[in-house]
Structure 1
Amino acid sequence: MTTLDELSREHCRPLRGSEHLLTAAQANSLLTCLPDWSVSDGGLLEKEFNFASYAATLLFVNTVAGLAERENHHPDLEVGYGRVRVSYSTHDVGGLSRNDFTCAAKIEALIRI
């Protein structure tokens, strides 16, 4: 079984095609190492983060943006005062890929520092 630490040390790879699409069992297995993340009915890997201030919210958004650029794997971000919803899906595979879980693990590693 993959751990959060192992997953956070991986790097995203360019993925195209449905052969990289995770099965529900594979996604559920990876989900067990991501605290409070869930897979929505729409097939997105999601989590909402809460912050005490708008400045802290924007610092998180900018940090996630830097991570996304470095990994070349970009989430959808929904930003409000003191909250950010992060949603991942790999459009080029038609759903969830290992890259989504890798980036979610990297975000978890960031917030634990």
Structure 2
Amino acid sequence: MSSELAGKRCLPCEGGVPSLDADAVQAHLKQVSERWEVIKDGKAIRADFRFKGYAKTTGFVNAVAWIAMNENHHPDISFGYNTASVLWETHAVEGLTENDFICAAKVDALVDG
């Protein structure tokens, strides 16, 4: 899925701004792949990924970490032999911001080419 979000950069967020409301979350969700689901009562998005072996899984995790460092927006990542889960949320606002969806779109671009 191609998304304008993947071409954007995250903006610094130190709090003091509102998180996205439910309508904005749904609008942003339409701009990322269907693998992303809203969790934690609308305060986070998560996607699960499967790979063919540990090397591909760790390569993916490292690539997501590189995206996170470049965007200065850091997900929770858990992984095993051939699975990985990525969770984005903006802790400073205790909810979702456009930054979360920008990073999700960048992960989509990584996986889907």
> Structure 1 length as normaliser, TM-score?
0.91
Taking a change above 3 Å as real, the CA distance of residues 18 and 25 of structure 1, as seen in their structure-2 partners, is: farther
Aligned to 2:21: 23
> Does the 8 Å contact 1:18/1:94 carry over to 2?
no
Moved over 6 A (4+): none
Letter in 2 for 1:58: T
Q: CA RMSD in A?
A: 1.5
Does structure 1 residue 109 correspond to structure 2 residue 109?
A: yes
Letter in 1 for 2:54: Y
The percentage of aligned residue pairs carrying the same residue is 40
Provide the C-alpha distance between the structure 2 equivalents of 1:41 and 1:93, rounded to a whole number of angstroms: 14
Q: Unpaired segments of 5 or more residues in structure 2?
A: none
> Does the 8 Å contact 2:29/2:36 carry over to 1?
yes
Aligned to 1:71: 71
Q: Unpaired segments of 5 or more residues in structure 1?
A: none
Aligned to 1:57: 57
Taking a change above 3 Å as real, the CA distance of residues 61 and 38 of structure 1, as seen in their structure-2 partners, is: same
